[in-house]
Chains A and B, each alone.
Chain A
Amino acid sequence: MNKIEAKNVDVYYGAKQALFDINMDIEANKVTALIGPSGCGKSTFLRCLNRMNDVIDICKVSGVVKINDYDINQKDTDVVRLREKVGMIFQKPNPFPKTIYENISYGPEIHGIAQSKSEMDNIVEESLRKAALWEEVKDRIHEPGTGLSGGQQQRLCIARTISIKPEVILMDEPCSALDPIATAQIEELIDELRKEHTIIIVTHSMSQAARVSQNTGFFHLGKLIEVGSTDKIFKNPTQQQTQDYITGRFG
């Protein structure tokens, strides 16, 4: 079953067109990797899925993006509800300048999810456990989240995102600022999270895409060149450009 269906998506930054007629289906409870050289539009496409492009004044999006068969690009779409369902992890860990606990409780609080202090405590613990961070921080959850290491900060951001139980998690190069060990931890976590969430990950690293994803889409110069199962894309691509990129001939 397709969780997300994008049809004829065009994106413009001012007069410059960044995405050309993207059509892509994304399956539920799988990890879909978006790969391609820098500036190919993969992050822009990712940001179309929770309307984060709204934040950028000059950015215009057209086309249809259906999540659970509902077009999120309609005028009256409630972006607050949308983003509650579609969470996002950024390239650089961006914990809020608050304690670890407050970082996690932020989402449940603004969406009114927890009814009591103990319920909130449970959500915080559960989210941190799911993000494989609980054992490391359980003694200092009332200390600033900014005091953690880079890899821990990124897992804190993941815990923050899953605290409101989104159906989809978008990840924009979540490991590019991390060392190999932290990267391995996050990758392991991604595989775990797939059980409950649909994950779309933008990555520069082809080996990462091969390791963590079931499906892969290859973007080049604002166009979706090829999309299919990761196995097929990496072993037997149908397009010459994909073949060239995978084998490292450009990009």
Chain B
Amino acid sequence: MNSVIFLTIVLLALSSYFFGRKKAILIQSNKRLTALPKFYGYYLAIWCGAPAFLLYALWSIFEPSIVRFFILSDYSSQGLLEGELNLFYEKVKSLSRNQYSGELTAELQRSAEKYLNFRDIAKWSKVVIVLSLLIASTGYAYTKISNNTKTREPVEIFLKGVFFLSSLAAILTTIGIIFSLLFQTIEFFQVIPLFDFVFGMHWYPAKAFVRDASEALDPSMYSDTFGAVPIFAGTFFIALIAMCVAIPIGLLSGIYMAEYASKRLRQYAKPVIEILAGIPTVVYGFFAALTVGPFLKDLGLSLGLEVSAESALAAGGVMGIMIIPFISSLSDDVITSVPQNLRDGSYAMGATKSETIKRVIFPAALPGIVGSILLGVSRAIGETMIVVMASGLAANLTLNPLESTSTITAQIVVILIGDQQFGDPKTQAAFALGLSLFIVTLVLNIVALSVVKKYREKYE
């Protein structure tokens, strides 16, 4: 039913475009218009579609709670708890859908009939009211159309509103996500002291196994459980390993592509490198877990080293490979966009190609290169799948790349897989980690931007 109404509104709005335009063209035959005929079409289409759609949307949002209010108003005097009312209402709804299998009472039956009744009334009155609003507003606008109606301005204002709402939606979503992280995190820190989280040396969320609700809020349950130092250290350590792989290879290949490679080679090689960026991270994950990990373990054995099959080195190394195309492709672009006259100037001084690259092109391209590296770092910190698959899940505090370690993202996965419930500190820990990760990435981005800005001032 809803989709029928929606489609009707869209179709009517579309056809009113043609009506509006046609009327304008008719007027045009003997009077001068203030705008092109198509604006009259848009004008009528907006007047037809926008009010009806708005009403339809608002109705759909508020209808359920109004119906609920009417159904439950019969029982409001009985002093029932909110939870009991909710339960009752859910029963009424499932009975109305013939999906109720519990005990039937007269009250329940009566309410279910009333519910169906209300839904019916609501449905038809919605159709009637929305359509009559549509007809009224279209008719109003249609009669208003004359040779000197202002149509361009309202259409522009409407479009501006649409753009504004779209950006507002994006911003509000971001703010909403931050706040949901924030509230859960605050609840988490009401049970776990902030100090223990930030400076605690043991991360062992499995220990926070709660048998019943009375234990859940007892801080003594969680001592030495949610110390985030090992996973922060692990995150930065693995990111460091990844960047040790990605920066040199990515940068050098970017420079090669931009400065040395022939046009033909570049034409074929660049897409191949960029394919690396298109491989799903989960594929990198099993490449790390099934190929690189065991290979490093065997290599270690033959050298007499003890290497865990799930090592930070395997995860970080493969992550580095994943990041290579970002750095290589971006720095290639940045280097290519350094003006040719700087190169000419350097060559004309008798500089060799490598001197020119090192002393003129690289400094000129530095802001962009720093930007690409920081982009790579935030990818490394946010990467999940490779770590989950290749570096194990035990949060060891170690600086030995041959041991397994864990990261913030991997621990969020660990916490949220399997049984969990809201209000449980173990679940809330995931939100606290998510917020920390968000803050780290945000700070990184701000630093990246300011670095880029600083160098730009110096070099342009």
Contact = CB atoms under 8 A, between A and B. Distances in A.
A146 B351 CA distance: 20
8 contacts: A52-B344, A82-B350, A88-B348, A94-B341, A96-B360, A106-B351, A106-B359, A157-B345
A94 B350 contact: no
Given A144-B458, A146-B459, A146-B460, A96 B350 contact: no
B348 A87 contact: yes
A1 interface: no
A95 B364 CA distance: 11
Given A97-B364, A97-B460, A146-B459, A55 B343 contact: yes
Contacts of A88: 344, 348
A161 B346 CA distance: 10
B161 interface: no
Contacts of B32: none
A50 B348 contact: yes
Interface in A39-94: 50, 52, 55, 57, 79-84, 87-88, 90, 92, 94
A97 B346 CA distance: 12
Contacts of A55: 343-344, 347
B349 interface: yes
Contacts of B360: 96-97, 106
Given A97-B364, A97-B459, A160 B341 contact: no
B363 interface: yes
B211 interface: no
Nearest to A170: B348
Contacts of A95: 345
Contact of B347 (A52, A144, A146, A161): A52
Interface in B346-398: 346-352, 355, 359-360, 363-364
Given A110-B355, A144-B458, A146-B459, A96 B342 contact: yes
Contacts of A129: none
Interface of B: 262-263, 339, 341-352, 355, 359-360, 363-364, 458-460
Q: Which secondary structure characterizes the binding site on chain B?
A: helix
A107 interface: yes
Nearest to B351: A110
A-B interface, 8 closest residue pairs, ranked by CB to CB distance from nearest: A83-B350, A88-B348, A97-B459, A84-B350, A94-B341, A94-B345, A97-B364, A107-B349
A87 B348 CA distance: 6
Interface in A147-203: 157, 160-161, 164
B348 A80 contact: no
Given A92-B341, A110-B355, A87 B459 contact: no
Contacts of A138: none
Nearest to A144: B458
Given A96-B363, A144-B458, 12 more contacts: A52-B344, A55-B343, A55-B344, A57-B262, A87-B348, A90-B344, A92-B341, A94-B344, A96-B346, A106-B351, A110-B355, A144-B459
Given A96-B342, A96-B360, A97-B342, A110 B350 contact: yes
A82 to B, nearest CB: 7
A211 interface: no
A160 B342 CA distance: 13
A106 B344 contact: no
Interface size class of A (residues with CB under 8 A): 20 to 34
Contact of B349 (A57, A81, A144, A164): A164
- Centre residue among B344, B350, B359 by max chain A CB count within 10 A: B350
Contacts of B351: 80, 106, 110
A106 B349 contact: yes
A80 to B, nearest CB: 5
Interface in A191-245: none
B355 A94 contact: no
Given A55-B344, A97-B459, A144-B458, A110 B349 contact: yes
B337 to A, nearest CB: 13
Nearest to B458: A144
A49 B19 CA distance: 72
Interface string A94-128: 11111000000011001100000000000000000
Contacts of B364: 96-97
A183 B436 CA distance: 59
A212 B351 CA distance: 29
A87 B347 contact: no
B459 A80 contact: no
A180 B134 CA distance: 69
Contacts of A160: 345, 349
Given A94-B339, A97-B363, A111 B350 contact: yes
Contacts of B346: 96, 106
A9 B5 CA distance: 80
A201 to B, nearest CB: 15
A80 B352 contact: yes
